[in-house]
Amino acid sequence: MIVGVPFRGLPTPQKKQIRKATDHGFVGLGMLATAFGVFAVGVLLFDVATDGVGVLNWDFLNSFPSRTAEEAGVKPALLGTLWVMAFTALFAVPVGIGAAIYLEEFAGKNLFTKIIEININNLAGVPSVVYGLLGLALFYYWFNLGPSIVTGALTLGLLILPIIIVAAREGLRSVPPSIREAAIALGSTKWQAVRFQVLPVAMPTVLTGVILALARAIGETAPLIVIGAFTSVFFVPTSPTDAFTVLPIQIYSWISRPLAGFQENAAAGMIVLLVVLLSMSSVAVALRHMLAKRRMW
């Protein structure tokens, strides 16, 4: 019991109860929302794992598609995915980070850059099939690249470019201006300040954005179908100009077959896709960890 100071803000016991109840209620709602997400992912993983794990073995990874479910494998699709992702990253990461650096560090704040900024943010929301049409017109026909890995990679690259730019700008913006000032005041050029002081600090955030973007690209089907990726490929791609298919397309083609056994193949394909995705993320996490340790931010 506190004495001496008259405390005039004391709410009535009833009000107090309502406040407490709202508080608890909100925590409960939040937990429910989280649980729903975890539950959904859990069910998905469990379902996919139980269906697919029986099929998953070395033969499955090392075989070509087949008319019989038992003999079918993901080799061309897996390699196709790896090829396409490598070239997508090769194209989109430098261009995206470069654009972000220009917009964030060098471009003035005027109407022109504002329009570009709005455009980039909007592009991040454009449906992927639209990018497929762009890729078809631009890379397939105009550049005459055909239904090749490069066409697919460039198309997916365009698709994830806005995501990378937005994330990289976010990373650059989070570096305190005092770091830039310190470098500039020592007689560094703007580029030296960005290259040696700002970018290293921003890199972990930038990498996170890159991974999110690549994760989006790895699951895309629509734009690749539009640019003419095959559903079933019976050879292994050996050069960037080869035709290709990717895992999501292969999974889709299996899942749409009524014959027994193909459903299990599709599930196993999903496991392979998830493993590829997870290993990509873990490389990025490791890289980020290493950078953060070395840069000591």
Partner 1 sequence: MINQIGNFRDALKLSNTRGGDSNHVASTLDRPDGYALEIQALNAFYGDFLAVRDITLPVSRKGVTAVIGPSGCGKSTLVRCLNRMHELAGGRVEGHVLFEGQDIYARGVDAVELRSRIGMVFQKPNPFPKSIFENLAFGLRINGYPRRELADIVERSLRRAALWDEVKDRLNKNALALSGGQQQRLCIARALAVEPELILMDEPCSALDPMATLAIEDLIRSLAEEYTIVIVTHNMQQAARVSDETVFLTMGEDRAGFMVEHGQTQQIFTNPADKRTEDYITGRFG
Contact residues: partner 1, CB under 8 A: 176, 178-179, 181-189, 192, 196-197, 201, 295-297
Nearer to partner 1, 67 or 109 (CB): 109
Nearer to partner 1, 113 or 188 (CB): 188
Min. distance of Cβ 47 from partner 1 in angstroms? 45
The torsion angles phi and psi of 227, rounded to 5 degrees, stand at: -85, 5
Min. distance of Cβ 146 from partner 1 in angstroms? 47
Tokens of 51: 């269906």
Nearer to partner 1, 206 or 277 (CB): 206
Nearer to partner 1, 63 or 192 (CB): 192
Nearer to partner 1, 164 or 198 (CB): 198
Min. distance of Cβ 114 from partner 1 in angstroms? 15
End-to-end CA distance of the chain: 48
Min. distance of Cβ 182 from partner 1 in angstroms? 5
Nearer to partner 1, 133 or 179 (CB): 179
Tokens of 293: 């340790």
Nearer to partner 1, 197 or 221 (CB): 197
Min. distance of Cβ 290 from partner 1 in angstroms? 15
Min. distance of Cβ 197 from partner 1 in angstroms? 6
Tokens of 254: 């299996």
Tokens of 297: 């931010």
Min. distance of Cβ 90 from partner 1 in angstroms? 29
